[in-house]
Amino acid sequence: MKFAVKLLSTAAITLFPLLAQAGAIDQLHQFLQGTRTLKAEFAQSVISKSGRKPQLSSGLLAISRPGKLRWEILKPYPQLVVGDGEKIWIYDPELQQVTVRQAGQAVSGSPAALLAGSNELEKNFSLKDIGEAEGMTWVEATPKAGDSGFEKVRLGLVGSDLKAMELQDSFGQTTHIRFSRLERNPALPAATFKFTPPAGVDVVGE
């Protein structure tokens, strides 16, 4: 579970730059061009290479392009990832620990750049239209760098709305994310993307 959260924190700022290629990827392009802020609920399942019972979680997502993100797991165990454009904060209440990374280092070539990055997606990813399934149009993004920690990301859209995201990491683990109650361009308070470590927690990497 914690690995999946960290993957998504480095998978919660890549998604939006991925959205800028022509042809059948037009829907992604429209999504990118028409979305400055976004909030949604998500349901996530993580399936290991061995195929054992999936790890399930759910929570809330908010983004403000470029570079700001909030990925909050509410169930079954609270965890929080906040990006303010300069730093990424990963807070694990159970461990009483906060991990801090520079945003550029944390999201370069990662799936996270798909969610809140700039428009330089093709610089870091190869994009491919992979057709329709489950009532969605799918685009696959493969990182050009060999050290991104994952093999590919798939994005599922209906019209110009993002509905799904699937991540396959370098260990054979697959993360399936489905979005619901998605709102494009809502007004989001500045505090959404700010984080102050709670008193008494360990702060690592600052």
The proportion of the chain whose per-residue pLDDT surpasses 70, expressed as a percent, equals: 77
Q: How many domains, in total, are found in the chain?
A: 1
pLDDT of residue 113: 58
Q: What is the per-residue pLDDT across 2-12, written as a single tens digit (0 to 9) for each?
A: 555 555 554 54
Q: What is the per-residue pLDDT across 76-97, written as a single tens digit (0 to 9) for each?
A: 999 999 988 888 899 999 999 9
Q: Does 157 score more than 50 pLDDT?
A: yes
Q: Does 109 score more than 90 pLDDT?
A: no
Q: In the numeric block, which tokens belong to residue 157?
A: 């859209």
Q: How far apart are CA 155 and CA 113, in angstroms?
A: 13
Section 14-41 average pLDDT: 68
What pTM, to 2 d.p., does this model score?
Answer: 0.80
CATH number at residue 6: 2.50.20.10
Q: For residue 184, what pLDDT band results from cuts at 50, 70 and 90? A: very high
**What is the span of the domain harbouring residue 118?**
2-204
Are the C-beta atoms of 34 and 53 separated by less than 8 Å? no
Nearest to 205 by CA among 63, 109, 106: 106
Q: Which residues touch 167 (CB under 8 Å, ≥6 apart)?
A: 7, 8, 11, 111, 150, 152, 153, 174, 175, 177
Taking CA atoms, 162 is separated from 49, 73, 145, 184, in Å, by 26, 19, 25, 10
